[in-house]
């Protein structure tokens, strides 16, 4: 037996839900092994069990041929298993060295550790300053901390959970070099991703999960991106259909010289942002997480008011100093990134959540200060029907819905108003393929019916699927918007890394 | 004059010590991400337990131990509710204060008016007799030194050891700490109980050293002032020491002015520490840069791991 | 064995209703154990404590007298806590209301007309509001923790009251007792007969009417209006509240002014009826007990009304137990504290299921 890790008939139950169902797979030393699957297919649950963060309900793991239990992450690390989380397990207020020390066994010697960190980061080309505080670092640097933290323990198996989702294409390339080198040294890598092209490029083996079950084990080099996608989804994928946009639409959303101060020590300030979105088109704002997207959404939605009315105009009407409800009344609608707790109140029913964003612009919902529950229930039912929101009872609490269904509701709630301007942050983050397709199609349809749509997204595939023009945000500054067809992923990557921050060079590049 | 100054300084030290103890304990709990508003209740129970145990055994030191144990025991109740049952920390802390004050009032009924057992000040031959500095540096009761040692220890553990790093990590991101395999609830249980033990000690100091007798409500809001001190100190141990001594000074200055017969109503002077607390909180909260950097990010937030 | 929580998909409506009842039953059991440990017959003691206060018309009157301030304050606090505006200084706002309202009898004892009554009540409300506006202002302007400031202000106003009744406001004919002149005529609350003599004549004062009206009004506010919706959102998900266009500052102002005004009203009603003058110790801790009332009533105004009676019984029971059993009336405060603990523990069951977990099965497998 020359397998490093084997999972044999592993099942994991959460209450009645089977997150993993009789999963069997094998990983060899030195192999980069992809776990492919949609959101909710059970990839994360499976690797959490391998990393000891969850315990299987049935089945067993073997490590180098021997049956093992992995009761805790510490036990996993002891075996030689390291993991880089999708949502990093870092501590913002602590330094790089302190973050790494927390994962290291043995005596506590910060000085020696800092020296080792410097050594490993030099060796693998992962520059890191041990005394820097995490809160001040970029997403790419944070990922380097996670990787160095694993490497210091000389792992035999490294688990990477969606590592490139937060990186620029160039940063991703750098990561592939590191991973390939590690594999060459005999370390196995479990690589979770839904980016099929990079899996084809990087991985030696791919296990495909669907609804918690293993549906196939393939050599990705022999497959096409389309065939892999079919295996993941279990059928053909819906492709957004859209007529070409009307070039001469009126400007419905105009940002000019938008500025916003940072509201905390770790927040991003927005600098001189200008953009026009016309009737009929979808404009996307691409960028790596943490470059001011949240602040940008707050500024455009009016959750944070601006200093000057002229910074934002809706259908020519300046609204910079108005709040979110005044902007809604002017015909705009907003969908924030966080569904639970921002776009919807988890403990409220769907009908109450209708009141949440529509009480000001739907006079029938709140007459004379009283809430009209019947009207709210009616709207909730209409939205649920139009967007196929699956739920266990007519008006359940928002928290009981799955991510995809809640996102359909939150988007549908706004589209139901037929807004003249729609601003969406991460429309399909963490949502299954079916719901994603519905949402993307609805967004494009809205634009083609004459609305202006602004989408903020970190997902380049999504952006290329729906956007007519693309601008890139980096450190609080927005590049010009370029026609989607004229931009390559590489070009966007350069913009993400801040190539447009000197305006002249951006203009030169366009010429 | 120097006699008078000496006695004022000695009173300041006694007035500051309970604040120092209670807020140092709360600081550790808050660094781990738990805000325990029950300090006042734990102090009251510590005070009555310390007084009672000393009275029964005749030993003030057993009184100190009893105060410590009582404070820790009461905080265990809080920990069970907020950490195991994930109840709201604000509400549970208030409940702890109400329960603690009630328990202390009930248990202390028979102690009212009884002369207490005083925690004696130490006397080091030679050193304690040095004029002026002797009594200040070498003539305090043991808890005064213990409080300063606890402060030094807390600072050392928090910033120089792995255990302290884990405490700060749990307070900064319980999700990440859990993902790395640390027991968030376990760390927090210990920190909350440390806070309870310190609050108990602080209460015991009141009834054994500050005014060796039992009076209902003798904590008089000191538990709340201790909570404010943690904010004042922006979660840094040495600033707690400075803050506690500052507040002790303010309290004693009130009494000193009164003794000099200055025509200010005594109630106004008694209100001084509370008013100053509010002012200090206002100044500190106005200064975002100072407070935000050290505020534990998970302070007050419940944590339930996925299973 | 470990106790673990399992999240429910939705909150359990059944547990929401049951949780206060379970809490009360657990408190009674705990109380019985405490009595038994003190060598008393637990059932008899519980009877004296919790049933006797309901037995006579006089005690029912007393019950209403005690429940009135608790309901007034508790309902206001319930709404504030719903919105996560943590006003815990109601005891101080109660006192501030009593002090400001007392300006009339102290300085204008001869001002006697129905308008005097109205004026005093309004001053009481204004006093509570004004005092509550301090933590609200500091919270909004500087982000100062409202829990600590509102609590500190309790001590300050109690010392102010102490100074007033010992100093400038002391009744010159009062034999040096620390109190103001006794309120009289239109400076006291009128009372009326609630139940006829055939049942046992039960008189209540106007304060009880205010309490019922306030509770009903707040129930409508929370259940039907957009303002109530706003308060719920702000408490459950502040980020969503901002997205909904509600300003956090205005919510804080609203909650503090409302709960402070109600506490002030309770304060002036108390000194205009039961106490009859201004003196130290006008409240047996109503402002703090009302915190328990708010939670026992599940932060719901109607619930607070019911809870106010439950807590009023514990006050009366404490008094009668002292007479009949010779146990301290301080037991009441302990019961109140224990009750609040049980409520908070039971409230967890609304969102979670409890499960006892044996040693993990996988750990046993390791040994093979």
User: Are B176 and A73 inside 8 Å of each other by CB?
Assistant: no
Instruction: Tell me what pLDDT residue C366 has.
Output: 32
Within 8 A of C291 by CB-CB distance, chain B residues are 94, 98
Residue that is written with structure tokens 């195991």 in the block: B84
Instruction: Tell me what pLDDT residue B290 has.
Output: 66
User: Are A60 and C227 inside 8 Å of each other by CB?
Assistant: no
B307 occurs within a structural domain: no
b vs e for A153-192, b when ≥16 Cβ sit within 10 Å of the residue's Cβ? Answer: bebbbbbbbbbbbbbbbebbeebbeebeebbeeebbbbbb
Checking if the pLDDT of C359 tops 60, the result is: no
C366 occurs within a structural domain: no
Distance CA B249, CA B243 (A): 10
Mean pLDDT over each residue of chain C, to the nearest integer? 90
Residue C76: CA count within 13 A, CB half-sphere: 39
B302 occurs within a structural domain: no
Within 8 A of A15 by CB-CB distance, chain B residues are none
**How many domains are there within chain C?**
1
First and final C-alpha spacing in chain A: 60
Interhelix angle A350-358/A373-386, rounded to 10 degrees, is 100
Tens digit of each residue's pLDDT (9 = 90 or more) over C100-135: 999 999 999 999 999 999 999 999 999 999 999 999
User: Are A73 and B172 inside 8 Å of each other by CB?
Assistant: no
Distance CA B88, CA C345 (A): 9
Distance CA A294, CA B291 (A): 23
CATH number for the domain spanning C350: value is 1.10.3470
| A89 closest CB neighbour out of B176, B292, B293 | B176
| B85 closest CB neighbour out of C152, C292, C345 | C345
C240 occurs within a structural domain: yes
Touching A: C residues 342-361, CB under 8 Å = 360-361
C326 occurs within a structural domain: yes
SS3 A57: coil
Output the CA torsion A122→A123→A128→A129 (10° steps). Answer: -50
Closest Cα partner for A220 from A201, A236, A193, A242? A201
How do A157-161 and A81-84 pair as beta strands?
parallel
Domains of chain A and CATH, by start: 5-233 (3.40.50.300), 267-510 (3.40.50.300)
Distance CA A65, CA A36 (A): 25
Tens digit of each residue's pLDDT (9 = 90 or more) over C81-108: 999 999 999 999 999 999 999 999 999 9
B300 occurs within a structural domain: no
Q: Per DSSP, which regions of A144-218 are E strands?
A: 157-161, 188-192, 205-210, 213-218
User: Is C240 touching A (CB cutoff 8 A)?
Assistant: yes
CA angle C266, C269, C270 (to 5 degrees): 85
Distance CA A166, CA B81 (A): 38
C323 occurs within a structural domain: yes
Q: Which pLDDT tens digits describe chain A residue by residue (511 residues)? A: 589 999 999 999 887 778 899 999 999 999 999 998 887 788 888 999 999 988 999 999 999 999 999 998 889 989 999 998 877 789 999 999 999 999 888 788 899 999 999 998 888 888 899 999 998 888 888 989 999 998 998 899 999 988 887 788 888 888 999 999 999 999 999 999 877 888 889 999 999 998 889 999 999 989 888 888 888 877 766 677 777 776 678 999 999 999 999 887 678 899 999 999 999 999 999 988 888 999 999 999 999 999 999 999 999 999 999 999 999 999 999 999 999 999 999 999 999 999 999 999 998 999 889 999 999 999 999 999 999 999 888 999 999 898 889 999 999 999 999 999 999 999 998 888 888 899 999 999 999 999 999 999 988 888 989 999 999 999 899 999 999 988 887 888 888 877 665 444 444 444 3
Q: State which residue of chain A sits closest to B167, comparing Cα positions.
A: A102
Tens digit of each residue's pLDDT (9 = 90 or more) over B52-100: 999 999 999 999 999 999 999 999 999 999 999 999 999 999 999 999 9
Instruction: Tell me what pLDDT residue B291 has.
Output: 64
Q: What is the 3-state secondary structure (H, E, C) of A399-417?
A: HHCCHHHHHHHHHHHHHCC
Checking if the pLDDT of C278 tops 90, the result is: yes
**How many domains are there within chain B?**
1
C365 occurs within a structural domain: no
User: Are B274 and C330 inside 8 Å of each other by CB?
Assistant: no
Within 8 A of C328 by CB-CB distance, chain B residues are 106, 109
What subunits make at least 3 CB pairs under 8 angstroms with B? Answer: A, C
B303 occurs within a structural domain: no
C286 occurs within a structural domain: yes
Instruction: Tell me what pLDDT residue C368 has.
Output: 28
CATH number for the domain spanning B283: value is 1.10.3470
Closest Cα partner for A215 from A21, A414, A11, A347? A21
Distance CA B279, CA A182 (A): 58
Distance CA A454, CA C191 (A): 65
User: Is B179 touching A (CB cutoff 8 A)?
Assistant: yes
| C-alpha torsion sign, points C104, C105, C109, C113 | positive
B262 occurs within a structural domain: yes
Q: In the 8-state DSSP scheme, what is residue A262?
A: -
First and final C-alpha spacing in chain C: 23
Q: State which residue of chain C sits closest to A10, comparing Cα positions.
A: C362
Burial group, residue C102, by CB count within 10 angstroms (0-12, 13-18, 19+): buried
Within 8 A of C338 by CB-CB distance, chain B residues are 99
Tens digit of each residue's pLDDT (9 = 90 or more) over C197-244: 777 778 889 999 999 999 999 999 999 999 999 999 999 999 999 999
Instruction: Tell me what pLDDT residue C196 has.
Output: 80
Distance CA A221, CA A202 (A): 9
Dihedral-angle region of residue A157 (phi above 0 means left; psi in -120 to 50 means alpha; beta otherwise)? beta
| C334 closest CB neighbour out of B103, B224, B282 | B103
Residue B212 lies in domain: 2-292
SS3 A154: coil
CA angle A325, A328, A333 (to 5 degrees): 125
C248 occurs within a structural domain: yes
First and final C-alpha spacing in chain B: 68
What subunits make at least 3 CB pairs under 8 angstroms with A? Answer: B, C
User: Are C240 and A334 inside 8 Å of each other by CB?
Assistant: no
Instruction: Tell me what pLDDT residue A135 has.
Output: 86
Output the CA torsion B227→B228→B232→B236 (10° steps). Answer: 0
Positions of chain B with pLDDT under 70: 1, 261-262, 289-293, 306-307
Q: What is the 3-state secondary structure (H, E, C) of chain C?
A: CEEEEEECCCCCHHHHHHHHHHHHHHHHHHHHHHHHHCCCCHHHHHHHHHHHHHCCHHHHHHHHHHHHHHHHHHHHHHHHHHCCCCCCCHHHHHHHHHHHHCHHHHHCCCCCCHHHHHHHHHHHHHHHHHHHHHHHHHHHHHCCCHHHHHHHHHHHHHHHHHHHHHCCCCCCCCCCCCCCCCCCHHHCCCEEEEECCCCCCEEEEHHHHHHHHHHHHHHHHHHHEHHHHHHHHHHHCHHHHHHCCCCHHHHHHHHHHHHHHHHHHHHHHHHHCCCCCCCCCCCCCHHHHHHHHHHHCCCCHHHHHHHHHHHHHHHHHHHHHHHHHCCCCCHHHHHHHHHHHHHHHHHHHHHEEEEEECCCHHHHHCCC
C364 occurs within a structural domain: no
| B172 closest CB neighbour out of A73, A88, A93 | A93
Distance of CA A375 to the CA centre of its chain: 34
- Residue C304 near residue B67 (C-beta atoms within 8 A): no
User: Are A72 and B168 inside 8 Å of each other by CB?
Assistant: no
Q: Per DSSP, which regions of A413-451 are E strands?
A: 421-425
B111 occurs within a structural domain: yes
Distance CA B167, CA A303 (A): 35
User: Are B275 and C156 inside 8 Å of each other by CB?
Assistant: yes
Tens digit of each residue's pLDDT (9 = 90 or more) over C295-306: 999 999 999 999
Share of chain C above pLDDT 90, in %: 65
Model ipTM value? 0.89
Instruction: Tell me what pLDDT residue B262 has.
Output: 67
Query: Which segment of A90-94, C70-74, C172-176, C270-274 scores lowest on mean pLDDT?
Result: C172-176
Instruction: Tell me what pLDDT residue C50 has.
Output: 84
Residue C297 lies in domain: 2-356
CA angle B194, B195, B196 (to 5 degrees): 90
């Amino acid at each position: 037996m020359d397998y490093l890790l084997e999972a044999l008939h592993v099942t994991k139950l959460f209450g009645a839900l089977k997150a993993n169902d009789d999963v069997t797979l094998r990983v060899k030393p030195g192999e980069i092994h992809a776990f492919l699957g949609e959101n909710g297919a059970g990839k994360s649950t499976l690797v959490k069990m391998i990393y000891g963060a969850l315990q299987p309900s049935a089945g067993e793991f073997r490590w180098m041929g021997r049956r093992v239990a992995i009761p805790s992450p510490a036990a996993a690390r002891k075996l030689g298993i390291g993991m880089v989380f999708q949502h990093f397990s870092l501590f913002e207020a602590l330094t790089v060295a302190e973050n790494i020390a927390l994962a290291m066994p043995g005596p506590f010697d910060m000085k020696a550790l800092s020296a080792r960190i410097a050594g490993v980061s030099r060796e693998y080309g992962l520059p890191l300053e041990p005394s820097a505080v995490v809160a001040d670092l970029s997403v790419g640097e944070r990922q380097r901390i996670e990787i160095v933290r694993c490497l210091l323990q000389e792992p035999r198996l490294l688990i990477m959970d969606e590592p490139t989702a937060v990186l620029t294409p160039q940063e991703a390339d750098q990561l592939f070099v590191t991973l390939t080198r590690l594999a060459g040294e005999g370390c196995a890598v479990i690589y979770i991703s839904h980016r099929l092209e990079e899996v084809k490029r990087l991985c030696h083996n791919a296990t495909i999960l669907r609804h918690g079950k293993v549906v196939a084990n393939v050599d990705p080099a022999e497959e096409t991106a389309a065939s892999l996608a079919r295996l993941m989804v279990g059928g053909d994928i819906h492709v957004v259909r859209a007529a070409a946009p009307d070039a001469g639409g009126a400007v419905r959303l105009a940002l000019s010289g938008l500025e916003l101060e940072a509201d905390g020590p770790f927040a991003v300030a927005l600098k001189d942002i200008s953009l026009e979105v016309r009737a009929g088109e979808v404009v996307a704002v691409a960028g790596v997480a943490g470059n001011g997207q949240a602040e940008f959404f707050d500024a455009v939605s009016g959750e944070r008011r601006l200093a000057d009315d002229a910074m934002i105009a809706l259908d020519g009407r300046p609204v910079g100093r108005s709040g979110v409800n005044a902007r809604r009344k002017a015909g705009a609608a907003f969908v924030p990134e966080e569904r639970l707790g921002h776009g919807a109140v988890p403990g409220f029913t769907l009908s109450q959540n209708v009141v949440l964003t529509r009480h000001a612009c739907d006079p029938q919902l709140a007459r004379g200060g009283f809430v009209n529950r019947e009207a709210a229930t009616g709207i909730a039912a209409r939205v649920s029907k139009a967007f196929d929101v699956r739920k266990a009872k007519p008006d359940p609490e928002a928290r009981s819905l799955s991510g995809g269904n809640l996102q359909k509701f939150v988007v549908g709630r706004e589209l139901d108003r037929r807004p003249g301007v729609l601003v969406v942050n991460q429309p399909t983050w963490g949502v299954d393929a079916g719901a994603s397709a519905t949402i993307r199609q609805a967004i494009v349809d809205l634009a083609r019916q004459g609305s202006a749509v602004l989408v903020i997204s970190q997902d380049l595939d999504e952006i290329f699927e729906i956007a007519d023009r693309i601008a890139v945000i980096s450190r609080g500054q927005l590049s010009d918007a370029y026609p989607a067809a004229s931009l390559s992923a590489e070009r966007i990557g350069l913009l993400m890394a801040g190539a447009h921050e000197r305006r002249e060079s951006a203009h030169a590049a366009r010429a | 004059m120097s006699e008078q100054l000496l006695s004022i300084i000695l009173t300041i030290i006694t007035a500051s010590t309970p604040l120092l103890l209670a807020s140092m304990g709360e600081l550790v709990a808050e660094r781990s991400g738990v805000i325990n508003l029950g300090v006042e209740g734990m102090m009251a129970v510590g005070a009555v337990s310390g007084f009672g145990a000393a009275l029964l055994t005749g030993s003030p030191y057993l009184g100190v131990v009893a105060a410590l144990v009582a404070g820790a025991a009461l905080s265990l109740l809080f920990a069970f509710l907020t950490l195991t049952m994930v109840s709201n920390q604000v509400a549970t802390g208030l409940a702890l204060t109400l329960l603690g004050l009630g328990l202390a009032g009930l248990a202390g009924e028979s102690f009212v008016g009884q002369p207490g057992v005083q925690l004696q000040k130490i006397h080091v031959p030679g050193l304690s007799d040095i004029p002026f500095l002797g009594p200040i540096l070498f003539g305090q009761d043991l808890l005064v030194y213990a409080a300063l040692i606890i402060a030094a220890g807390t600072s050392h553990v928090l910033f120089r050891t792995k255990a302290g790093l884990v405490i700060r990590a749990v307070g900064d991101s319980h999700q990440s700490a859990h993902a790395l395999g640390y027991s968030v609830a376990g760390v927090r249980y210990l920190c909350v109980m440390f806070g309870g033990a310190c609050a108990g000690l602080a209460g015991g100091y009141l009834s054994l050293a500050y005014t060796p007798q039992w009076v209902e409500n003798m904590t008089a809001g000191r538990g709340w002032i201790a909570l404010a001190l943690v904010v004042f100190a922006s979660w840094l141990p040495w600033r707690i020491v400075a803050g506690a001594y500052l507040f002790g000074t303010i309290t004693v200055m009130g009494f000193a002015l009164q003794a000099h017969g200055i025509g200010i109503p005594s109630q106004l002077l008694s209100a001084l520490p509370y008013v100053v607390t509010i002012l200090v909180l206002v100044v500190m909260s106005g200064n975002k840069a100072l407070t935000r950097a050290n505020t534990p990010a998970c302070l007050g937030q419940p944590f339930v791991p996925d299973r | 064995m470990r106790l673990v929580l399992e999240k429910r998909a939705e909150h359990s409506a059944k547990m929401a209703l049951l949780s206060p009842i379970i809490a009360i039953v657990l408190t009674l059991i705990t109380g019985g154990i405490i009595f038994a440990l003190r060598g008393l017959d637990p059932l008899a003691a519980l009877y004296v404590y919790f049933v006797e206060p309901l037995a006579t018309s006089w005690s029912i009157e007393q019950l209403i007298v005690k429940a009135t301030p608790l309901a007034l304050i508790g309902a206001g606090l319930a709404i504030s806590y719903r919105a996560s505006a943590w006003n815990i200084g109601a005891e101080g706002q109660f006192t501030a209301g009593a002090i400001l309202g007392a300006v009339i009898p102290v300085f204008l004892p001869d001002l006697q007309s129905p308008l005097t009554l109205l004026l005093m009540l309004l001053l009481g409300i204004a006093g509570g509001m004004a005092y509550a506006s301090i933590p609200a202002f500091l919270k909004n302007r500087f982000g100062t923790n409202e829990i600590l400031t509102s609590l500190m202000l309790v001590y300050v106003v109690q010392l102010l009251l102490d100074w007033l009744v010992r100093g400038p406001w002391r009744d010159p004919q009062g034999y040096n007792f620390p109190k103001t002149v006794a309120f009289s005529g239109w400076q006291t609350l009128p009372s009326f007969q609630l139940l006829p003599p055939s049942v046992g004549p039960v008189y209540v004062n106007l304060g009880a009417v205010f309490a019922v009206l306030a509770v009903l009004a707040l129930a409508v506010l929370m259940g039907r209006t957009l303002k109530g919706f706003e308060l719920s959102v702000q408490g459950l998900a502040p980020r969503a509240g901002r997205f909904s266009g509600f300003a956090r500052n205005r919510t804080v102002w609203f909650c503090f002014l409302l709960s402070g005004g109600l506490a002030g009203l309770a304060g002036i009603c108390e000194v205009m009826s039961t106490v009859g003058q201004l003196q130290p110790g006008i409240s047996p801790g109503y402002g703090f007990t009302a915190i328990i009332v708010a939670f026992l009533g599940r932060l719901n105004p109607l619930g607070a009304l019911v809870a106010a009676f439950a807590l009023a019984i514990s006050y009366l029971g404490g008094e009668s137990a002292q007479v009949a059993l010779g146990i301290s009336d301080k037991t009441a405060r302990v019961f109140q504290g224990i009750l609040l603990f049980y409520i908070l523990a039971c409230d967890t069951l609304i969102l979670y299921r409890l499960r006892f977990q044996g040693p993990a099965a996988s750990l046993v497998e390791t040994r093979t």
